[in-house]
Amino acid sequence: MTSALKSRPARVSDKISSATAKLRKIALSGPFMFFAVGLNFLLYQLDCINAIIVMNALAIVLFLVCFRDVLPCLLPFLSVCFGTINYYSLTPDGLKKLLPLAAIGAVALVLHMVIYPVKKEDIRIGKQFWSMFAIGVAATLAGANLVNAETYFSLKNVYYVLALGFGALAAYVFVLNYLPSDKKAAKKEFSACIYFGGLFGVLQMAALLYAVLSGKEPVEFLARQRYRNNFAALMLMLAPFSFYQSFAGNRRFLGYFMGVLQAVSACVTLSRAGFVTAIAVIAACGVFCILFSDYKNRKFYVKTFVVTVICAGLVLVLADNYFDILSKRFDGAGSDVRTKIWKLGFSVFKEHPLLGAGWMAEGNSEYVSTGSFSIYWYHNSFVQIAASTGMLGILCYGFGYVQKIYSIISKPFTAFKFFVAVTFGGYMMMNMLHPIEFTPVPYLILMTIAFAAMEVFDEKATDGEKLKFMCKSEIAAYYPSSK
């Protein structure tokens, strides 16, 4: 009788575990994610942005409670980012309206850690803990010697101080400890979530492009999109993982095709930084797939890369109206404004060299229009660091960059690590003109998640995951002698 009573809770627990495992499998399945993207896109086209936010926020809450690992939350998170990217104009009042959802999310996070505790001896703080801790200190002390208490503890300043500093560190440690244990499968699941998240963005851009091609809007309409840089940056952070889907053998053609579409979508926005970065991303990923794929797949990548280059050339020749507008943007439109902003940033640094002027400093409003809940942008990450956080920030952020680069170049060299490196490279290229690093959601949090995933997934890479450059005999097979 006693043994029967003891076994009953065990059976219930087994049933719950089995049910959640099945639910997780469904949540990460291709058909379900495709359906979720389709539903989100439909709501986007119907201008039901609040529905996108609420639906995906509730999905994240459900997944946090039901699953130990956080991968299923990635697609809903990306869906919110894409769904709101052209509507995003956060204000203190707007932030207050989101507080109920934030409170529910906070409760879900606490429940997640209570239901799925990490043993003390298994807690990971990660290789980048101390560099991110240092950045947290710099973000917290930025301009602290200049602003009064009322300004420092305002909702806007507290948001940026926490989100850019210790909030990002907390997200890093949390993700690090709640990634799946099956690392090989998790890489494909991770990139699949990003693949489908990027599909939402591709559909958005296709709808925008259709409006232009059908004559409903002029080509200049693309350049007037206020958040084109934000959209381009997000697409280019996702594109490398679609290429990884292809390289890893899951959706070989579709993954490559989606990666190209995501990069092309960044070009269509007429974002100058996005255009240059997109070319770099496609080139890096395409060449890598050729050089490091196994012999039987190499011909596929050679042919696909050549077709991609030819198609790009045809577009370059045929879409003359588009490139006329783009060339005008490269010829200096806006560059004089950026130069003035950079000079302003350096002058701010000279005036406040130790801790900078902080996140609330004003001064460039005569050059650019910033949102009511935005910091004052200097349109370059390095200038932003110097002006906002001073020498302390330069040292701390420099430590962070060195730590990231070291984690990328350290052994083992794997495909997943390479595509994270491409993501980071594109991220830094965008930062030179559009400092996305200081927009916590989604860019900083996505980069944090990518590095946490790389650290966990490639910690003990198997021999099969380690990469080898194509050997001399393989090169000779592609380039036989003329004799």
pLDDT at 479 over 50: no
Residue 382 has pLDDT above 90, yes or no: yes
For the stretch 77-133, pLDDT in tens is 999 988 887 665 555 565 666 677 778 888 888 999 998 998 888 889 889 999 999
Structure-derived torsion over alpha carbons of residues 414, 420, 426, 429, reported in degrees to the nearest 10: -90
pLDDT in tens, 223-233: 555 677 888 99
Residue 46 scores a pLDDT above 70: yes
Q: What is the mean pLDDT of residues 11-33?
A: 81
- Tell me which of 214 and 253 has the higher pLDDT: 253
Question: Residue 465: which pLDDT band, with cuts at 50, 70 and 90?
Answer: low
Give the residue-averaged pLDDT of 402-406. 94
Residue-wise pLDDT tens digits, 269-296: 878 888 889 999 999 999 999 999 887 8
Per-residue pLDDT band at 329 (split at 50, 70, 90): low
Percent of the chain at pLDDT above 70?
80
Of residues 174 and 226, more confidently modeled: 174
Q: What is the mean pLDDT of residues 413-426?
A: 92
Evaluate whether 191 touches 248 at the Cβ level (below 8 Å): yes
**Mean pLDDT value across the chain:** 82
- Point out the least confidently predicted range of 52-66, 139-153, 161-175: 139-153
pLDDT score of 480 more than 50:
no
> What digits encode the pLDDT tens for the residues 137-166?
999 999 888 888 888 888 888 889 999 999
